[in-house]
Amino acid sequence: MKRSDLTDKILDIKREKGWTWKYINEEIGGMSPTLVTGALLGQMKLVKPLAAKAAKLFGLSEAEERMLNEVPYRGTQMPPTDPLIYRFYEMVMVNGPAWKALIEEEFGDGIMSAIDFDFDFERQPNPKGDRVKISMSGKFLPYKYYGNEQGIQEYGFKEE
């Protein structure tokens, strides 16, 4: 069985049972709903206790449970073809240079982690159509200046 086959099986069971992602996340718990959902969709791994809970919930075999605990091959084709996912890609393509400039001006030479990262969203009612409010928070990771000498700082933190 390939990981994509397990994802299809999980989605089939979800559909047959009429479960929502909210229900599934409440039953499994233990991590962010984004991470649990991502794991069930094949993009993240579940730690062993959560893989066991997911396996019990979905009636999976021991081998399938172990597969949920494996580090997956992450990512999708680029650019993404799904319209909602493509809009995130578009936001980064259009706004990315400005975000980069503003973050570097505030923090220095580095990146925002996508590993030490939090994501949340909420629905905001609006008479012109409900809005999606997204919140992302990632740890700032400064670049290390290898071979630095003569008083050159070791990391790319903002210079005062």
**Closest listed residue to residue 66, CA positions, set 54, 82, 83:** 54
Per annotation, catalytic residue among 87, 131, 137, 154 = 87
Instruction: Identify the burial level of 36 via C-beta atoms within 10 angstroms of its C-beta, where 0-12 means exposed, 13-18 middle and 19 or more buried.
Output: buried
Instruction: Tell me what the mean pLDDT of segment 12-37 comes to.
Output: 96
In the chain, alpha helices (H)? 3-17, 21-28, 33-40, 48-58, 62-68, 83-107
Q: Where are the domains of the chain?
A: 3-68, 83-142
How much is the pLDDT for 16?
98
Instruction: Tell me what the mean pLDDT of segment 130-159 comes to.
Output: 86
pLDDT band at 151 (very low <50, low <70, confident <90, very high): confident
How much is the pLDDT for 148?
78
Q: What is the mean pLDDT of the chain?
A: 92
Q: Which CATH number fits domain 83-142: 3.30.365.10, 3.30.2350.10, 3.30.1160.10, 3.40.50.620?
A: 3.30.1160.10
Known catalytic residue: 131?
no
- pLDDT tens column, 54-81: 999 999 999 999 999 999 998 888 888 8
How much is the pLDDT for 80?
86
Whose tokens are 């599934």? That residue is 24
**Closest listed residue to residue 108, CA positions, set 143, 81, 82, 133:** 143
Known catalytic residue: 87?
yes
Per annotation, catalytic residue among 4, 66, 70, 113 = 113
CB neighbours (10 Å) of residue 3?
16
Specify the amino acid at residue 54.
Answer: A
Residues 138 and 116: beta-carbon distance below 8 Å: yes
The yes-or-no verdict on residue 152 having pLDDT over 90 is: no
CATH number of 3-68: 1.10.260.40
CB neighbours (10 Å) of residue 62?
9
Per annotation, catalytic residue among 70, 90, 131, 154 = 90
Comparison of pLDDT for 115 and 36, the residue scoring more: 36
How much is the pLDDT for 147?
80
Percent of the chain's residues with pLDDT above 70 = 100
pLDDT band at 115 (very low <50, low <70, confident <90, very high): confident
Sorted by sequence, the CB contacts under 8 Å of residue 1 that are 6+ apart come out as 63, 64, 67
Instruction: Tell me what the mean pLDDT of segment 93-98 comes to.
Output: 89
Known catalytic residue: 32?
no
The yes-or-no verdict on residue 108 having pLDDT over 80 is: yes
